[in-house]
């Protein structure tokens, strides 16, 4: 005991320790869900970016086909790629003797919600809300995740 200090002023009480632990626990309870929401929001942003990139590549392929810059021999393709991989492998330019290929995507992105490069696809002959791909061509892509988005109104496979 120090000189001049009363017995009550010697240290912190058990109540003060309990209060500090309770405050730290409360802060942790707030921080963990906030971190999970931020992580999910980042995945949603990445999903939107990936969908936009793939849809842009499909549209660019279609534009090339309509303009006759690339040739398609299969009429059922309706001037769209037969499969997603065709966008990454490249397509030979029509009338180019060098055999130069145009690639529309560097790689097929990983679906951030599913963690795989498997995407849902629709062809021009599928119903707009179809969840099974007819296999004729690739007209649209979507995430296969049926989880609810942070907006609370839509599912990721509806984006």
Measure the CA–CA gap between 43 and 113, rounded to whole angstroms.
Answer: 7
Residue in 112, 95, 122, 114 with CA at minimum distance from that of residue 46: 112
Residue in 91, 92, 66 with CA at minimum distance from that of residue 78: 66
Contact 61, 80 (CB under 8 A): yes
In tens digits, the chain (159 residues) has pLDDT values of: 455 556 556 677 888 888 888 888 888 777 777 778 899 999 999 999 999 999 999 999 999 999 999 987 777 788 999 999 999 999 999 888 888 899 999 999 999 999 999 999 999 988 888 888 888 899 999 999 999 999 989 999 999
Model confidence, pTM: 0.77
Q: Report the SS3 class of residue 134.
A: coil
């Amino acid at each position: 005991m120090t000189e001049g200090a009363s017995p009550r002023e010697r240290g912190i009480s058990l109540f003060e320790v309990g209060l500090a632990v309770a405050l730290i626990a409360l802060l942790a309870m707030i921080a963990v869900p906030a971190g999970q929401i931020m992580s999910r929001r980042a995945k949603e942003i990445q999903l939107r970016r990936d969908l936009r990139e793939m849809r842009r590549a499909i549209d660019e392929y279609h534009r090339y086909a309509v303009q006759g810059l690339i040739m398609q021999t299969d009429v059922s393709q309706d001037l769209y790629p037969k499969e997603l991989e065709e966008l990454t492998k490249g397509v030979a330019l029509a009338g180019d003797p060098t055999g130069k290929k145009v690639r529309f995507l560097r790689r097929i992105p990983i679906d951030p919600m599913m963690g795989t490069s498997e995407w849902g696809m629709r062809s021009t002959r599928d119903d707009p809300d179809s969840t099974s791909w007819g296999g004729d061509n690739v007209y649209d892509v979507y995430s296969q995740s049926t989880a609810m988005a942070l907006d609370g109104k839509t599912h990721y496979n509806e984006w």
